[in-house]
A and B are shown apart, each in its own frame.
Chain A
Amino acid sequence: MTLAGLEAVFLANRAALLRFLVAHGAGDAAEDLLHELWLKVSRASAGPIAAPLPYLFRAANNLMVDRHRAQRQAMQRDHDWTDIAGGTLPGGSDEPSSERRLIAREALGIAEAALARLTPRAAAIFRRHRVDGVPQKAIAAELGVSISTVESDLREAYRALNEARRRIDEA
Chain B
Amino acid sequence: MAGDEDKIGAEAIAWTIRTGEPDFAEWEVFAAWLEADPRHAARYYALQGDADELAALIPPPEPVRAAPRRLARRGWLAGAVAATLAGVVGVSVLQTRPDPFVVETAPGGRRTVTLADGSRIALNGGTRLTLDRGDQRYAVIDRGEALFTVRHDPARPFKVKVGADELIDVGTVFDVIRSDGKTWVGVAEGALIFNPRNEAVPLPAGRALSTSDGVADVQVGDIATTSVGSWQRGQLDFAGAPLADVAAALSRATGVRFTVVPALAARTFRGTIALADLRQDPARLEPLLGVAMRRTPGGWEIAPSP
Contacts of A108 in B (CB 8 A): 53
In the complex the two chains form, is A66's CB within 8 Å of B55's CB? no
Nearest 4 CB-CB pairings of A with B: A131-B234, A57-B27, A133-B276, A111-B53
A69 / chain B contacts, CB cutoff of 8 Å: 48-49, 52, 274
Extra contacts besides A130-B276, A131-B234 (17): CB < 8 Å: A25-B41, A39-B306, A40-B286, A44-B281, A57-B27, A61-B27, A66-B287, A77-B271, A108-B53, A111-B54, A126-B54, A126-B55, A131-B235, A154-B17, A155-B13, A157-B51, A165-B46
Asked whether A44 lies within 8 Å of B28 as measured between CB atoms, the reply is: no
The answer to whether the Cβ of B83 comes within 8 Å of any Cβ in the partner chain is: no
- Are B295 and A45 in contact, CB atoms less than 8 angstroms apart? yes
Q: Given A16-B28, A65-B48, A66-B287, do A111 and B305 touch, yes or no (CB 8 Å)?
A: no
- Classify chain B: how many residues form its interface, as a range: 35 or more
Query: What residues of A have a CB within 8 angstroms of the CB of B286 in the complex?
Result: 40, 85
A40 CA / B293 CA spacing, docked (Å): 8
Contact with A along B1-40 (1 / 0, CB 8 A): 0000100010011001101111111011001101100100
Closest Cβ neighbor of A130 among chain B residues: B55
Interface centre among B13, B23, B32, B292 (most CB of A within 10 A): B13
- A151 with B17, Cβ < 8 A, contacts A58-B24, A73-B272, A77-B270 known: yes
For A114, list chain B residues within 8 Å (CB).
50, 54
B140 at the interface (CB under 8 A from A): no
Known contacts A83-B290, A84-B290, A132-B276: A44-B48 contact under CB 8 Å: no
A153 to B133, CA, bound (A): 41
> Which residues in chain B, 96-155, are within 8 Å of chain A measured between CB atoms?
none
In the assembled complex, the Cα of A45 lies from the Cα of B282 at a distance in Å of 11
Digitize A117-149: 1 where CB-to-B-CB distance is under 8 Å, 0 elsewhere: 000000110110111110110000000000000
Answer yes or no: A48 CB below 8 A from chain B CBs. no
- Among B36-68, those with CB < 8 Å from A are 38, 41, 45-58, 60-61
In the assembled complex, the Cα of A43 lies from the Cα of B285 at a distance in Å of 13
State whether the Cβ of B279 lies closer than 8 Å to any Cβ in chain A.
yes
Query: Are B281 and A158 within 8 A (Cβ)?
Result: no
Interface residues of chain A, those whose CB is within 8 Å of chain B, are 16, 19-20, 22-25, 39-40, 43-46, 51, 53-54, 57-59, 61-63, 65-70, 72-73, 77, 79, 81, 83-86, 107-108, 110-112, 114-115, 123-124, 126-127, 129-133, 135-136, 151, 154-155, 157-159, 161-162, 164-166
Chain A residues, CB < 8 A from B235: 131
> Do most interface residues of chain B lie in helix, strand or loop, or is the interface mixed?
helix
Report which of B25, B41, B50, B233 forms a contact with A110, defined as CB distance below 8 A: B50
Is B218 interfacial (CB-CB < 8 Å)? no
* Sample of 5 A–B contacts (CB below 8 Å): A51-B25, A123-B58, A133-B277, A133-B280, A154-B17
Inside 8 A of A77's CB, which chain B residues have their CB?
Answer: 270-271
| Cβ-defined contact, B288 with A66, below 8 A | yes
Query: Is the CB of B182 closer than 8 A to any CB of chain A?
Result: no
Which of A39, A65, A77 lies at the interface centre, i.e. has the most chain B CB atoms within 10 A of its CB? Answer: A65
B290-306 residues with Cβ-Cβ distance < 8 A to A are 290, 292-295, 305-306
